[in-house]
């Protein structure tokens, strides 16, 4: 179980960096207007972050066992 927890955390660090880069690229754009494409991109980043957070929480094996048969 410790192996899978460690691997999950090793994957989470570069993924967090990737999300930070995506958001900083968007925020650094001087022509950033809210269009349909931007809403789509921001929705993708939000859902990607939500799924990643869920993965990191369940990467802890004790939490994974405790929440196994719940709707989490």
Dist. CA 67–CA 72, nearest whole Å: 7
Q: Band of the pLDDT at 33, cuts 50, 70, 90?
A: confident
Dist. CA 29–CA 61, nearest whole Å: 40
Q: Which two tokens stand for residue 62?
A: 């004790």
Dist. CA 42–CA 44, nearest whole Å: 5
Q: What is the pLDDT of residue 72?
A: 57
Average pLDDT of the chain to the nearest whole number: 80
pTM over 0.85: no
Which has more confidence, 72 or 64? 64
Q: Is 29 left (phi over 0), alpha (psi -120 to 50) or beta?
A: beta
């Amino acid at each position: 179980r410790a192996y899978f927890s460690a691997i999950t955390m090793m994957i989470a660090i570069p993924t967090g960096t990737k999300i930070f880069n995506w958001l900083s690229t968007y925020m650094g754009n001087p022509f950033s207007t809210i269009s349909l494409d931007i809403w789509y991109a921001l929705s993708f980043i939000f859902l990607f972050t939500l799924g990643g957070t869920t993965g990191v929480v369940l990467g802890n094996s004790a939490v994974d066992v405790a929440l196994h048969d719940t709707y989490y």
